[in-house]
Amino acid sequence: MTSRAGDGDLYILTTDDQLMSVDTSRHVIDGSVPVQATRLVGFTGRATGPFVSAELVTIDTTGRVDAVNAWPGNIERVVTTDALRPDQARSGTVITADGRWLAVPERRVPDRPGSTSLAIYDTTHWGVRPRLVTLTSPVVQVVAGRHRVVALTEDDRAVVIDPRRSSLRPESIRWTGPPLGPTTILAMSPDDRTLAVVPDSSPRNLRLVRLRATATSSSPRTLPAVSQSVTGLAFADDGNELAIASADGSISIYSVGSGVLRSALASPSPATQLTLAGAPGSFLYSIDGRGWVTSWDLTGSQPYLTLQPGQVDDADPAVQVGDLVAGWRTSPDGSADLLTLDLSADPVRVRDHALSLRAGTRPTGIDVADDERTAVVTLGDGRRRVLWQIYDLGSGRLLSTVAAPGPSTPPSAQAALSPDGRLLYAAVGPHTIGVLDLSSRHWTMWPVTWSGDAAARVDVEPWHVDPDGHLVVWGPDPGPTVHQPTRPYAGPVLAQPPADSRLGLLDTSNGNLLAQGSLGHDQPQRIGWSSDGAVLAIVTTDGALEVFHGPHLDRVGRASVAAPGSIASVSVSPDDRTIVTGSTAGQLQFWDADSLAQEGPGLPAPRGDSIAPWEAWFTHTGLLAGLLPDDRTGADPTGQRTYTMPAAPSAWVDAICRTAGDDLTRTEWSTYVGSRPYVRPCTTDS
């Protein structure tokens, strides 16, 4: 299920209970967070960026409607309406495009058998009781435009409600077409002017109803019939174009004014949800019955990006220890493999072993002992269940499974291993790190107290034991608690929370906090450190690169937009001078570790039809190795292949010159390079 935010991002509720943010200007994934919801209704209009104080309205499995605040790694329920029956929730809770009015088919009207009411909530005044609109028959479907709401009822009536008016009297739409019926498909343009109707008695024919200010309509206009039954509809933001999906997988985009077909697309599976983005509608996002999300570039009528369930973060986390990289790869069927890369081998040696997932769980974190023999994989179900599994990296054998020691363990709890793999460090409760001796199964608890005004809010989670033997931890801060209003008031419920998340080092002999630094709103996503522990590089869920030096976590700086897409990998060179990041957009970028200045433009990978990330790590000899998009003809678009290459650009030039055999002539330079001054890179005196 999809919804557009005011900042242009597209938010998708996936089939594996993840809320995913897609940047529609760059067509890349911003981030994702687990939610307990079955439906994403929309935005209240106060989204201030990807998952930063984004106030969304969702419906959970009980039918409850919630307003929630979402930012990386966290969902906070802010407002909860009266409980709905699940069948009512499915029948059509909507929010207007301006984000202000929430329409909920809430309850039966006493003493009026067969009737129901539509509750209209003002999202800028959550403390005010909703206004009720009485309808003569139960609601079948509700759609919304910018300000107005259209409800279809079981007695085949379609009515318009304008919440801006003091009177919520529903006005009937004059309908002269065939009977509508309970499976009629409706869509309303964001400008409130056009209603698209596909009656269930005529599922191949779509009619456009022009809505006037008084809600009465002119005679419906019919667009050309689609080849099979219509499965989804969506208007462009300006209301001038309409996308129509049909059961044969075709998607047609028509001009609303002229009825001219603008684009024709072919999807392998029928789309059930559509979103037109850009102006005018340059990109289309579709979701099919399998839960696959496809982005279509309408200038070429080809899929730009396809995401399957489980590809929410399209670069699964990996951790580097020496020349070993360990991570996991998820599959559309919900299974996952433990993946290890031996970077010292040429070609890179890859091993994968199936993870022993428990029912309803998925991997959420991984760490490797410095002896490179064992790894701990964190499993969670996004709610309360957390397990830690210890694997032998050589054989892939599951050695043991550790359950959380108590009910206070947070659902996102992570774990790390001691350098010898004998101790497990885990987040086991508020502000507490638990240390488990894997031989005796004895737990020792370390309470962690941060400094500063926000200390009481900041929690703690382990990451990895650094080369100096200190446990790297981070402290997520949800920001100050936002209380639900208890009386009518004016103004928005939420403001951007002034979070003060932390990065810290713990003494592994006693759990004392040795050093800490501030991360603000940032949530670490990847981490890399130099072999001597002098440089710690962190990439965050919003694509920033942050660097800290020394045992006191002195902050070097922050590169606010480190790469297009999200960052898939980060690694520090053996001489501590260079940091390399790989991105989901298939690009490597190099950074000066002291100044965080970017060293030249990004290096793009040959992609072909691939949508896979480029992941790179330094080896102990200073080479680069890892995984890059598999651009070979016929390859899986999500597939990768291994590589090893020199890290220094001068070595790239030498390799190119050895392959080419000579410099470009002036004519060749003009043809392939253009107007830049002519140079002879393969000649030593140039």
User: What domains can be seen in the chain, in order of their start residue?
Assistant: 313-479+500-521 (2.130.10.10), 530-647 (2.130.10.10), 657-686 (no CATH)
Of 505, 517, 597, 506, give the one whose Cα is nearest residue 555: 517
Taking the whole predicted model, whether its pTM rises above 0.75 is answered as no
Among 16-25, 75-84, 198-207, 297-306, name the most confident range.
Answer: 198-207
Distances (CA, A) of 652 to 539, 601, 628: 26, 15, 17
**Beta strand extents in 261-397 (DSSP E only):** 261-266, 271-277, 283-288, 293-297, 302-307, 318-321, 324-330, 336-342, 349-354, 362-368, 374-380, 386-392
Whether the pLDDT of residue 570 is over 90: the answer is yes
**Beta strand extents in 573-639 (DSSP E only):** 578-583, 587-592, 603-604, 615-618, 624-629
Mean pLDDT of 139-149: 84
Mean pLDDT of 61-79: 55
Q: In this predicted structure, what is the pLDDT of residue 278?
A: 58
Least confident of 25-34, 386-395, 524-533, 592-601: 25-34
Mean pLDDT of 130-157: 82
Q: In this predicted structure, what is the pLDDT of residue 507?
A: 93
Q: In this predicted structure, what is the pLDDT of residue 106?
A: 64
Whether the pLDDT of residue 549 is over 70: the answer is yes
> Between residues 384 and 549, which one has the greater pLDDT?
549
Percent above pLDDT 70 for the chain = 69
> Between residues 172 and 125, which one has the greater pLDDT?
172
Say how many C-beta atoms besides its own lie within 10 A of residue 655's C-beta.
12
Least confident of 74-78, 269-273, 341-345: 74-78
Mean pLDDT of 604-610: 68
Least confident of 194-208, 283-297, 321-335: 283-297
Cβ atoms of 557 and 548 within 8 Å: the answer is no
Q: In this predicted structure, what is the pLDDT of residue 159?
A: 86
Q: In this predicted structure, what is the pLDDT of residue 8?
A: 54
Whether the pLDDT of residue 537 is over 70: the answer is yes
Whether the pLDDT of residue 319 is over 80: the answer is yes
Whether the pLDDT of residue 565 is over 80: the answer is no
pLDDT class for 26, splitting at 50, 70, 90?
low
Whether the pLDDT of residue 220 is over 90: the answer is no
pLDDT class for 333, splitting at 50, 70, 90?
low
Q: In this predicted structure, what is the pLDDT of residue 445?
A: 94
Least confident of 38-52, 270-284, 444-458, 652-666: 38-52
Q: In this predicted structure, what is the pLDDT of residue 314?
A: 44
Mean pLDDT of 181-203: 80
> Between residues 512 and 639, which one has the greater pLDDT?
512
Mean pLDDT of 317-321: 86
Whether the pLDDT of residue 393 is over 50: the answer is yes
Whether the pLDDT of residue 22 is over 80: the answer is no
Q: In this predicted structure, what is the pLDDT of residue 311?
A: 39
The alpha carbon of 547 is separated from its chain's Cα centroid by a whole number of angstroms, namely 24
pLDDT class for 509, splitting at 50, 70, 90?
very high
Mean pLDDT of 12-29: 60
Q: In this predicted structure, what is the pLDDT of residue 39?
A: 60
Whether the pLDDT of residue 53 is over 60: the answer is no
Q: How far apart are CA 48 and CA 497, in angstroms?
A: 11
Q: In this predicted structure, what is the pLDDT of residue 85?
A: 43
Q: How far apart are CA 373 and CA 336, in angstroms?
A: 20
Mean pLDDT of 357-383: 84
Whether the pLDDT of residue 234 is over 50: the answer is yes
Mean pLDDT of 74-93: 51
Q: What is the mean pLDDT of the chain?
A: 76
Whether the pLDDT of residue 217 is over 70: the answer is no
The SS3 call for residue 651 is helix
Distances (CA, A) of 677 to 157, 600, 662, 672, 681: 72, 18, 18, 13, 12
Q: In this predicted structure, what is the pLDDT of residue 494?
A: 38
The SS3 call for residue 352 is strand
pLDDT digits (tens, 9 = 90+) for 253-262: 888 888 888 8
Whether the pLDDT of residue 332 is over 70: the answer is no
- Supply 665's token pair: 């002539």
N-terminal to C-terminal alpha carbon distance within the chain:
58
Report the run of H or E that residue 222 belongs to, with start and end: strand 221-222
Q: In this predicted structure, what is the pLDDT of residue 169?
A: 82
Q: In this predicted structure, what is the pLDDT of residue 495?
A: 39
Whether the pLDDT of residue 87 is over 70: the answer is no
pLDDT class for 247, splitting at 50, 70, 90?
confident
Q: Determine phi and psi for 462, rounding to 5 degrees.
A: -75, 155
Q: Tally the residues of the chain.
A: 686
Mean pLDDT of 30-45: 57
Whether the pLDDT of residue 132 is over 80: the answer is yes
Q: How far apart are CA 626 and CA 638, in angstroms?
A: 15
Q: In this predicted structure, what is the pLDDT of residue 56?
A: 60
Distances (CA, A) of 224 to 193, 208, 238: 20, 11, 22
Q: What is the dihedral of CA 541, 543, 549, 555, to 10 degrees?
A: -90
Q: In this predicted structure, what is the pLDDT of residue 410?
A: 72
pLDDT class for 487, splitting at 50, 70, 90?
very low
Q: In this predicted structure, what is the pLDDT of residue 57?
A: 60
